[in-house]
Amino acid sequence: MGAILVLGATSDIAKATIHKLAAKGRDLVLAGRRMDEMEKMKRDLEIRYQVTIWIEPFDALDFDWHETFFTRCVEKAGKLDGLLLMYGTMADQKEAEQDFSVAKQMIDVNYSSAVSILNLAADYFEKRKAGFICGVSSVAGDKGRKSNYIYGSTKSALTTYLEGLRNRLHASNVHVMTIKPGIIDTKMTYGVVEPTPLMAPPETAANDIVKGLDRKKETVYTPWFWLFIMLIIKHLPEKWFKRTDL
């Protein structure tokens, strides 16, 4: 069995997912910006689950590094069975409206870098005619709202990219899955998003992701009820929606 590469391993949704995968005996390559934290995660996971963990520095914005990085991950682990793209960033909407560099940062992290790294991964898995690519998008990409549309648009771009990739890799037996979380209780939302009963713990998202991989789902809303919330919101007439304050 090969390893699973996790991009953005220090994200809270990633951490919860990593625990679930390691508990199933999967070896993992953790990639992210914070080496000291990943070093600690490695120790923790190796003690708890007796699996092998590798760690690699990865900054999504360091585009020139992506190719070397991906090769190194493959070399270290010997073989990759799948990739989870879990990093992302959400800046304040108002700031992103006023200061283009803030918007550009979101676009680069959430979308451009994903294209760069997933292009490489797609070739790798396509050649092997096996494996999976799972990307974390967002329900915010399903509908533009004035409170969050710049972030939302980076996520809908990612969703569309993954959709096309799924279509391309289907013939090569590679499973491509899009995750659309609703509101998850992570450091991205803590103290930022008003506490609401709709908020779910990262473990819920992790469970849904692992189940989705097992069942080879195309798109997974997590928690599940967001599918219905978004279904309704997407079908509201735009004439009316444009007046709302969501």
Partner 1 sequence: MGSYITKEIYAWGKYPKETCHVYRPEQPEEVKSILGSREQEHWIAYGLGRSYGDAPLNRGHGVIQTERLNHMLEFDADTGLLTCEAGVSLDEIIEVFLPRGYFLPVTPGTKYVTVGGAIANDIHGKNHHVDGCFSEFVHSFTLLTASGDVIRCSREENRDLFYATVGGIGLTGVILTATIQLIRVETAYMNVTYEKARNLDEALELFIQNDRNYKYSVAWIDCLAKGDSLGRSVLMRGNHAQKADLPHMIKDPLSFKQKQKWAVPFDFPSFTLNSYSVKAFNQVYYSSYQNSTKLVDMTSFFHPLDSIRDWNRLYGGNGFVQYQAVFPEDQRPEEGLRTLLTRLSDARVSSFLAVLKSSGPANEGLLSFPMKGYTLALDIPIKGPALFRFLRELDEIVLAHGGRVYLAKDSTLEPEVFQRMYPRWRDMVNLKKDIDPHGVFSSSMSRRLGLT
Ligand X SMILES: NC(=O)c1ccc[n+]([C@@H]2O[C@H](COP(=O)([O-])OP(=O)(O)OC[C@H]3O[C@@H](n4cnc5c(N)ncnc54)[C@H](OP(=O)(O)O)[C@@H]3O)[C@@H](O)[C@H]2O)c1
SS3 content of the chain, % helix, strand, coil (to 5): 55, 15, 30
Of 143, 162, 146, residue with least CA distance to 234: 143
Q: Does 228 bind partner 1 (CB under 8 A)?
A: no
Of 78, 171, 173, 177, residue with least CA distance to 118: 177
Of 86, 88, 16, 25, residue with least CA distance to 53: 25
Q: Does 187 bind partner 1 (CB under 8 A)?
A: yes
Q: Does 224 bind partner 1 (CB under 8 A)?
A: no
Residue closest to ligand X when measured from CB atoms? 88
Say if residues 193 and 148 touch (Cβ distance below 8 Å). Answer: no
Q: Closest CB to partner 1 among 2 and 201?
A: 201
CB of 193 to ligand X, least distance (A): 7
Stretch that binds ligand X, among 22-30, 59-67, 165-173, 236-244 (CB under 6 A): 59-67
Q: Binding to ligand X (CB under 6 A): which residues in 121-160? A: 136, 138
CA dihedral 219→167→148→146, nearest 10 degrees, is: -110
Q: Does 190 bind partner 1 (CB under 8 A)?
A: yes
Q: Does 59 bind ligand X (CB under 6 A)?
A: yes
Q: Closest CB to ligand X among 64 and 237?
A: 64
Which does residue 195 bind out of ligand X, partner 1, none, counting CB within 5 to 8 angstroms by kind? partner 1
Partners of 178 in beta bridges: 135, 219
Site residues (CB under 8 A) for partner 1?
Answer: 12, 37, 40-41, 43-44, 47-48, 187, 190-192, 195
